[in-house]
Amino acid sequence: MLLEGKTGLIMGVANKRSIAWGVTQSVRDAGARLILTYQNERLGENVRKLESELNNPLLYPCDVSSDDEIDQLMDAIAKDAGGLDFIVHALAFAPREALSGGYVDTTREAFRIALDVSAYSLVAVAKRAAPLMKDRDGSIVTLTYLGSERVVPGYNVMGVAKAALEASVRYLANDLGPDGIRVNAISAGPIKTLASSAVSGISGMVKMHVERAPLRRPTEIGEVGDTALFLASSLSRGITGEVVYVDGGYNVLGA
């Protein structure tokens, strides 16, 4: 029970196929008290359907594109939970039209939205959560992908957003380290989820991964969840500012 007595915030659960749900299961099984957020009422319905599989989680709405909503979320957590020990940021979005064609065709508005939701939201959440995590050996974990450092057809502006997210991890790790808060990212292999369905060619990406990755199999949601558990626990107490790959070794290949 690595997380017994710990309180964690999971942001990004959409349904049972989401990576965030795999993380939720892993940290639940390790004894954590959970807080889940949802962007709007439609997604909130999906989250509430999963509530029975958790141990009385706290559920709050939060659209991370709104500073006011993040403020309200942290106020509610301070009141109802008293503090936070870890956060899992599993949020990313880009307009669908920006995930097809060429990156050169990305509009200014699509770029703004992708960077705001997929990268800046980590900064906004970390800033407001830091007072609730100070001196608690806190851990913040976010999700990224290899498209941040290599060209992946169809990933386009999301690759740029993930690159910004990874840079933010390093800067936040430096800023928050003195308060005992670690910040890391998990770079998972391609997984078919509601979010990844917006990326054209996701099926081909998974197929290529299985054919070429050293482990010759697809990345599983549970593997990502268990790595998030490790990063949220004291077992990783000396690790911060890092990108941990959970992709069957695909990232080590030259082509």
Domain coordinates of the chain in residue numbers?
Answer: 7-188+221-246
* Superfamily the domain 7-188+221-246 falls into: NAD(P)-binding Rossmann-like Domain (3.40.50.720)
Q: Catalytic residue, from 38, 60, 103, 145: name it.
A: 145
Q: Say which amino acid occupies 149.
A: E
The pLDDT score that the predictor gives to residue 127 is 98
Is 155 annotated as catalytic? yes
Summarize pLDDT for 66-98 with one digit per residue, the tens. 999 999 999 999 999 999 999 999 999 999 999
DSSP assignment letter at 120: I
pTM: 0.94
Opening angle at CA 151, ends 13 and 248, nearest 5: 60
**33-38 vs 7-11, strand pairing mode:** parallel
pLDDT per position as a tens digit, 92-106? 999 999 998 999 999
Once rounded to an integer, what is the mean pLDDT over residues 195-221? Answer: 81
pLDDT value of position 72: 98
Say whether 103 is catalytic.
Answer: no
Which residues are paired to 35 by β-bridges?
A: 9, 58
Catalytic residue among 38, 60, 155, 250: 155
Q: What is the pLDDT of residue 241?
A: 98
Contacts of 91 (CB under 8 A, 6+ apart): 11, 12, 64, 117, 118, 121, 122
